[in-house]
Amino acid sequence: MSELKSGTFSIEELENVQITIGSIVGAIEKAAEEEGDVGPTAKPGISDLRDWDYKLLEKYNPVYTPMCDQCCYCTFGTCDLTGNKEGACGINMEGHNAREFMLRVITGAAAHSGHGRHLLHHLIDLYGKDYPLKVGPSNIIAPNVQLVTGKKPETLGDLDDALDYVEEQLVQLLATVHMGQEGEAIDFESKALHGGMLDHVGMEVSDIAQISCLDMPKAKENTSLAEIGMGTIDPEKPVLLVIGHNVAGVTNIIDYMEEHNLSDKIELCGLCCTALDMTRYRTEGGDVPKAKVVGTLAKELKMIRSGVPDVIVVDEQCVRADVLREARKLMMPVITTNDKIMYGLPNRSNDDVEDIINDLKEGKQDGALILDFEKLGEVAPRLAQEMSKIRKEKGVTALPTDEEFKELTSRCVHCLACELDCPTNLPISDSMTSAAEGNLSPFEELHDKCIGCGRCEQACPKDIPILNVIEKAAQKVIREEKGKVRVGRGQISDPEIREEGVNLVMGTTPGIVALVGCSNHPEGTKDLYRIGDEMLKRNYIVIVSGCTAMDIGMYKNEDGETLYERYPARFLKGNLINVGSCVSNSHITGAAIKVAAIFAQRNVAGNYEEIADYILNRVGAVGVAWGAYSQKAASIGTGCNRLGIPVIVGPHGSKYRRALIGKPYDEEKWKVYDARDGSEISTPAAPEYLLTSAETVEELMPMLAKSCIRPSDNNMGRMIKLTHYIELSEKYLGIMPDDWYKFVRTETDLPLARREELLKILEKEHGWEIDWNKKKILSGPTTKSDVSAQPTNIKRLCKEAC
């Protein structure tokens, strides 16, 4: 075919056919838009969903808890904003904090969509723009993309277009971080919500691209189980460790290993989401995962310090900045494979494979940047074999010997500097004393709570390698760190939604609890197991992803079974679903969107406000980012929030600087419209927050149950949800909740077994009128019981309105 240039021209011998390249491109765009109904906000700009944001923000007020009282953005500063003072540009603490929060959100969103962009370039290079998207038995292939951009993507090339939009918008948002832009906190809040929404588009693009091209499970129920834990790694074999989030390059390593029969000979293992995505690679058919998972970010430094890896390959995101510095000490070459992390290493992408291997083997360089994945595929496993020999020969040791351990623990002068510096103020000093006396259990306990950050070591005036001491002390525990993680299954399929949607909207499935985020837990990884266990027993749908999907698989019941082994993985009540890696979080919002689209037949494309309103009022879902630390968790949570899904973070999450918390005592604020006639319905605050932190797992449990209550629940649903709320409060706090009665609209809402008792309380403590013969409530509830009411926050969706 001859090459066409831009401009108007005609095709040979066909004078009256004129093609204008510009307009063909335009026509493509137009055609795509016209596919089906498109709602009012396809590819919304910053201001297009502002009305919706304002509705949310009126109910859910930004609560600012600054990480710093100063602003140091521009050279007019540093400005002291303490007490909501104004800086030199006129911005006050509220405005600046909202801006700071937004910056974190767009940083997270950029990490995901930047990852998506890299992956997409790579996959389009390999498979072409016309390669079709394949995500499983669904018509709604990409709910977030379709909802936001107004277009249903069909090919890899279509994803390009969605990313263009995301990138354009992220740059608009980043622009507003500049001094002298937005002046009011509320509009920074709206911008933050915008960024969160974009994040889910970026994540979805990333994940469906890799699902489609890399033979990952496509909405499969029974994916395989992968091995997880430091205890599962065989240190006798050459160990090739990969760290990061972007599996692109690693697939070449796996392929090379298979082609060269190395799969059994090399221990290929990973940390963070790359690990999860390795287990998804080519397991669509139910194959055994091709790699082991070591664990989360919290294990990075611990794994390196163990001395076990022979070669480290890093890609992007959540990779400790000191990997090269740490690995160097232990003769582990580091290969960087992505321009986001290059560590100052020489670019060997264009060099001969043998030369690279030789230079690294001989220690001429600490590592190499290899952007050519073909070469990476060969270099990494071959080098691991070589290094394994060399390192064993040289007797590279890592953790202290027993003698050194004694010396180190005795060296401690108990100055407590380490504890002051430890993000969680762990009791290092006392543990040193115990360890010196031969009692390792304090350190064993500490090991689980320790996120392996190394900050204690930076502070110690006696230069004790504290983390090594902890790890040495916990060797016994670490050897037992063996768990299972179900391979990420990708999307929730349309048929599943069709089956379960009604239960969710009516409330007879008590709710969806999405456990996401990282490993910054306040009290160790068992927290997650406890949450999952409790909620699964109670028939909640528990969805996990990323690091949480890992940590939750590290605990077993007395039968030695992890939760994954005990609970099935369909989108049904009482099921435990691992969607996949961080970018798979988009499938959680995706499922909520699908409920509105499939169960309620709402139009998806470009119809954000209506769908979000539907979800806020009717889909009892709550997100938990218990160990959230990263900016990505902020953007994921914020994306959930704009879509009407509340999110709870662990105590460290208060450092995101802002929460969205309602004031249930301000009853005027909680009215909704009835879409049937535009009349107002008084409702209790449900949910009463969009983003908050919780202090302990025990506090979290009843909060979860309460967070799943929605105005649309029918009586049965309400009864089920109230039962769990009351039971969990009694179990974990020892008390009936203060506000349970607010959710009661009729006697049939009350848990059957306790109906009489509760009616009495209603009469006595709240002055409700009860007809004791019929056991009926005569007066009291704020909300009238009316199953067919259609709660909405949007006036224009009401029949009689506007």
Joined tokens for residue 798: 């009401």
Residue 18: other Cβ atoms inside 10 A: 11
- How many CA atoms within 13 Å lie on the side-chain side of 557? 12
- Check if the beta carbon of residue 566 is closer than 8 Å to that of residue 529: no
Interface pattern 138-157 for ligand SF4 (x via CB under 6 A): --------------------
How many other CB atoms are there within 10 angstroms of residue 15's CB atom?
8
For residue 425, state whether it binds other proteins (rule: CB under 8 A): yes
Query: Rounded to whole angstroms, how far apart are CA atoms 546 and 583?
Result: 8
Q: Which does 460 bind (CB under 5 to 8 A by kind): other proteins, its own copies, ligand SF4, none?
A: ligand SF4
10 or 458: whose CB is closer to other proteins? 458
Collapsing DSSP to helix, strand or coil, 744 comes out as coil
Residue that the structure tokens 């009350």 belong to: 750
Least distance CB 417 / other proteins (angstroms): 9
> Where does 36-78 have alpha helices with state H?
50-59
Q: Which two tokens stand for residue 298?
A: 């919290």
Rank residues 61 and 641 by Cβ distance to other proteins and give the closer one.
Answer: 61
Task: Out of 12, 393, 558, 738, name the contact with other proteins by CB under 8 A.
Answer: 738
Nearest to 487 by CA among 371, 577, 361, 556: 577
Tokens standing for residue 306: 């163990």
- Cβ at position 188, least distance to other proteins in Å: 16
* Residue 318: CB minimum distance to ligand SF4, A: 3
Q: In this structure, what token pair is assigned to residue 738?
A: 């203060």
Q: Which of 27, 68, 88, 288 binds other proteins (CB under 8 A)?
A: 68
In the block, residue with structure tokens 């989401």: 273
428 binds, among other proteins, ligand SF4, its own copies, none (CB under 5 to 8 A by kind): ligand SF4
How many residues belong to the site for other proteins (CB under 8 A)? 50
User: β-pairing, 769-771 with 776-779?
Assistant: antiparallel
Pick the binder of other proteins from 416, 436, 761, 801 (CB under 8 A).
Answer: 416
Rg (CA), the chain: 28
Residue 25 or 735 having the CB closest to other proteins: 735
787 CB-contact burial (10 Å; exposed 0-12 / middle 13-18 / buried 19+):
exposed
User: What does 733 bind: ligand SF4, other proteins, its own copies, none (CB cut-off 5 to 8 Å by kind)?
Assistant: other proteins
DSSP secondary structure of 561-585? --HHHHS--SSSTT-EEEEESGGGG
* 652 in contact with other proteins (CB under 8 A): yes
Nearer of residues 97 and 729 to ligand SF4, judged by Cβ: 97
* Contact window for other proteins (CB under 8 A) among 105-113, 314-322, 602-610, 658-666: 658-666
Q: Residue 288: which of other proteins, ligand SF4, its own copies, none does it interact with, CB under 5 to 8 A by kind?
A: none
- Residue 520 CB, nearest distance to other proteins (Å)? 11
DSSP annotation of 645:
-
Q: Which amino acid is at 506?
A: M
In this structure, how many other beta carbons lie within 10 angstroms of the beta carbon of residue 154? 16
**Out of 468, 693, 790, 793, which residue is the one contacting other proteins (CB under 8 A)?**
693
Q: Which does 130 bind (CB under 5 to 8 A by kind): its own copies, ligand SF4, other proteins, none?
A: its own copies
Strands laid side by side in the 483-486 sheet: 367-369, 334-336, 311-314, 239-243, 267-271, 292-295, 225-228, 483-486
Judged by beta carbon, residue 154 or residue 739, the one nearer its own copies is 154
Q: Residue 739 CB, nearest distance to its own copies (Å)? A: 29
Contacted entry of other proteins, ligand SF4, its own copies, none for residue 778, CB cut-off 5 to 8 Å set by kind: none
Binding part of the chain for other proteins, among 194-202, 352-360, 693-701, 754-762 by CB under 8 A, reads 693-701
* Residue (276 or 368) nearer to ligand SF4, CB: 276
Angle at which helices 631-642 and 185-213 pack, to 10 degrees?
100
Interaction site with other proteins (CB under 8 A): 61, 63-70, 77-84, 93-94, 416, 420-421, 423-425, 522, 651-652, 654-655, 659, 661, 663, 665-666, 689, 692-696, 698-699, 703, 732-735, 737-738
